[in-house]
Amino acid sequence: MNAVVTDTRRTPGVTVQPVPIGAVWIGDGFWRGWLDRLYDVTLPAQHAQCEATGRLDNIRRVSGRVDAPFRGRYYDESDVYKWLEAASWALAGREDRRLRAQVDALVDDIAAAQQPDGYLHTYFALERADQRYTDLINKHELYCAGHLIQAGIAHHRATGAETLLHVAVRLADHIRAEFGPDARETADGHPEIELALVELARETGQRVYAEQARFFLEQRGRQPPRLGGYRYLQDHEPAAEQQEIAGHAVRAVYLACGLADAGLELEDGAMWEAAERLWRSAYETKVYVTGGLGAHWAGESFGDAFDLPNRNSYAESCAAVAGVMWNWRLLAGTGEARYADWMETTLYNGMLAGLSLDGQHYFYPNPLSASAGHARVEWFECACCPPNLARLLASLPGYLYGVSERALWVHQFMAGRVDADVPGAGRLSLEVDTDYPWAGEIRLAVRHAPEDPVELRLRVPGWCDAASVEAVPANSSPAPSPLEGEGWGEGVPRHARDLPAGAYTALHRVWSPGDQITLRLPMPPRRLVSDPRVTANVGRVALARGPLVYCVESHDRPGLEQDAFALPDDAAVASGPVDERLPGMTLLDTTAVPLPGTPERGALYQSVSGDGRAHGAATDRVAIRAIPYFAWANRGPSTMDVWLRRWEAASG
């Protein structure tokens, strides 16, 4: 089936087009385990939660199939639609009879609940029918509609069935009749309908849905205000004129995704430029090192530029998912590697931390410093994050590769295979063997190739300073000491070193089955420091290796109070032995300098020596271990820190 997540293949001006989920198989390796748990644990458990909490009965009661009162919050059905989208993408990747049966039953229930005029919202459909669209700031009717439309599109692309797509079209037509220059002139308090309508235009070929999305986007920043003029709701300025990412983080990023979608599909330069401008605001001044977005618990919102607290950071899991979606759209429009870099950072860190290793416990906020009381739970009263994480994981194969005229792009590195239809050339099939992110060698073998030349574009991540690529033709052996620049075809060096970081490197030739390409991305442990304007991280350092950000839990610094130690600049950092509770993971071992502990001394403030040090010396060191940030809080209660106090060599 034609299961692409964001179908820009016929969109004007797009640089990189998507490769369908069904054309990609993620093989044994890091992500295979997460996807297997998605099928076996995560999706079944989420469906059971939707059943147990009344979310499914809320749909059935509208059609008369269940006689029960409404349960939960007015936007709870959005969780069902996100689960349905996730399940649909999952079916595009692998047939699962149990999952298919659950999807079919749910689609039937939703279709039966749709009102004669196309309206569908379980909170307002019956006893509150006279209150439709009376509180778009808070009640999320259009937000829920957007997720239903996206589920309908995913279901159609994954299965070929049209029932849910017809529901989505009828709902979209109802919305078009209710909102517009000759009807209600307003916007949605929580953006989402905009993305859905643009994608529906792509799915149906009907431009009117994209124009309706533009109508909603253009309602922001009007006078009189449509949403109170609130910055929190991105209503303080016209959407296409906004300079700074602000307000509720998930709403702001969904709005930016809508601007990018409308900008591409409608060739609206102002909206596209706004999406890029807001990206610079977010990813140059307001993003966490993990890819997390949204600094403040109060309002789940962005703060000012460089305002990135660690202990009180919010970094909602939904915002990480939205960040991947946003970067994907900008990558499609530009082909710039920086967007794929941030997708990678977010996937391995800010997003993945939201889901436990057992596949059924979740974080809502993802702080970068936490007490032992911060733990994942099975579900939330406001359960937006669990199915959002599921739909990103289920659609993951669709984010790995791209194509353009006579070119195949490798955005992310995962073991498996891809069978891509390259425009202007034909089918190019690759097998990928790698232990990424634990090891930086990516081996690609050509299994089928067209007769015409194809450019293979490999991303060199921005974190990698000494990347190299080696290409070996079929039925050949590598030379014992291949020379840099030694070639076997135009544009294909036998061995090229020191490739530019943060860019795509291109290999261009007529490929043959059996050709092999090896991309080597050295990944020694490295230290990270912040822009000094991030005051929370002044005098602190973080550890990273490859695409992974690391943290230190209390399990791995015995006898040291949280934040009562410092990492010397000259302390060696090396890969440590495996922890059986974190199987298969590369951990980092180093040493730290204990700092004076105020609880024992009973003094909140104390004198220091002339060189600025209180107690201890750089030689008084203790062993500590760092683990990947995504894996924290999986070994029982623990405190955690990403940013560690730094013992600078000059003062040590």
Residues 177-234 pLDDT 10s = 999 999 999 999 999 999 999 999 999 999 999 999 999 999 999 999 999 999 999 9
Q: Is the peptide bond before 583 cis (omega within 30 degrees of 0)?
A: no
Q: Looking at 144, 257, 318, 384, which residue is catalytic?
A: 384
- Judging by DSSP bridges, how do beta strands 540-545 and 548-553 pair with one another? antiparallel
Is the confidence at residue 332, as pLDDT, over 50? yes
Report pLDDT for 482.
38
Task: Return the number of other C-beta atoms located less than 10 Å from residue 591's C-beta.
Answer: 17
H/E stretch holding 429 = strand 426-434
* Catalytic-residue membership of 405: no
pLDDT band at 309 (very low <50, low <70, confident <90, very high): very high
Residues 437-494 pLDDT 10s = 999 999 999 999 999 999 999 999 999 999 999 999 987 654 433 334 445 455 556 6
Residues 4-36 pLDDT 10s = 999 999 999 899 999 999 999 999 999 999 999
Q: Looking at 85, 244, 300, 344, which residue is catalytic?
A: 300
Residues 577-598 pLDDT 10s = 788 899 999 999 999 999 875 4
Phi and psi at residue 459, to the nearest 5°: -75, 130
| DSSP states along 252-316 | HHHHHHHHHHHHHHTT-HHHHHHHHHHHHHHHHHSB-TTS-B--BTGGGB--STT---STT----
Q: Specify the pTM.
A: 0.95
- Judging by DSSP bridges, how do beta strands 644-647 and 565-568 pair with one another? parallel
Mean pLDDT rounded to a whole number for the chain:
93
In order of 99, 102, 140, 382, 425, the CA distances from 60 in angstroms are 19, 14, 20, 20, 50
Report pLDDT for 607.
64
Once rounded to an integer, what is the mean pLDDT over residues 168-173?
98
Is the confidence at residue 268, as pLDDT, over 90? yes
Report pLDDT for 615.
46
| 374/128 Cα distance (integer angstroms) | 38
* Catalytic-residue membership of 648: no
- Give the CA dihedral 58, 64, 69, 70, nearest 10 degrees: 30
Once rounded to an integer, what is the mean pLDDT over residues 514-525?
97
- Judging by DSSP bridges, how do beta strands 640-641 and 644-647 pair with one another? unpaired
Minimal CA–CA distance to 259: which of 356, 345, 326?
A: 326
